[in-house]
């Protein structure tokens, strides 16, 4: 579950179906107070714990772990001869699909031949076509295994 907030400036207007302009703030406030009862207490306490010294240390270690996984995956995809983007400051690696295959064809090939699930780029809109995304949110052993399997693929 996520714990977050949204700021809606009181000066921001919304266009109604009839074409009229109305302040968005009261509409948003009504939506949030009638359809959403807020983040549960346990989630709020969990979010609060992130700001303690122990929480900050744990988050730092977790980020370090996932960025390490991203480096393993980047290296594996590069060694497989794939064009790689990202994975330096974020736990996602973007890879150009080889030989003019679609992102869904890459998904099928990687799933069927390597038993690895990636995300087709077309799911991110038309500009994502021709790419796929690999997530580093996993164990180090799994990241290393995915790296090895990517290098074994025959495109």
Q: Provide the domain limits for residue 28.
A: 13-49
Token code pair at residue 77: 């995809």
- Between CA 111 and CA 37 the distance in angstroms is 40
Instruction: Return mean pLDDT, the chain.
Output: 93
**150: three-class secondary structure by DSSP:** helix
SS3 assignment, position 86: strand
pLDDT tens column, 46-77: 899 999 999 999 999 999 999 999 999 999 99
| pLDDT of residue 1 exceeding 70 | no
Asked if the structure places residue 82 within a domain, the reply is yes
| Residue 2 included in any domain | no
Region 93-121 average pLDDT: 97
Q: Has residue 55 been placed in a domain?
A: no
Any domain includes 1:
no
Question: Residue 140: inside a domain, yes or no?
Answer: yes
Taking the whole predicted model, whether its pTM rises above 0.85 is answered as: no
pLDDT for 7 beyond 90: no
Residue 112 shares a structural domain with residue 142: yes
Q: Is 9 helix (H, G, I), strand (E, B) or coil?
A: coil
What's the number of domains the chain is made of?
2
């Amino acid at each position: 579950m996520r714990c977050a907030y949204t700021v809606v400036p009181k000066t921001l207007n919304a266009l109604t179906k009839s074409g009229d302009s109305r302040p968005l703030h009261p509409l948003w406030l009504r939506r949030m107070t009638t359809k959403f009862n807020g983040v549960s207490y346990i989630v709020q306490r969990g979010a609060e714990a992130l700001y303690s010294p122990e929480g900050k240390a744990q988050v730092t270690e977790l980020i370090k772990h996932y960025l390490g996984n991203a480096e393993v995956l980047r290296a594996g995809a590069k060694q497989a001869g794939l064009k790689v983007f990202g994975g330096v400051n974020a736990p996602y690696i973007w890879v150009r699909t080889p030989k003019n295959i679609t992102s869904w064809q890459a998904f099928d090939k990687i799933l069927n031949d390597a038993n690895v699930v990636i995300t087709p780029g077309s799911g991110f809109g038309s500009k994502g076509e021709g790419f796929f995304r690999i997530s580093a949110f996993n164990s180090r052993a799994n990241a290393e295994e995915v790296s090895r399997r990517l290098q074994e693929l025959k495109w």
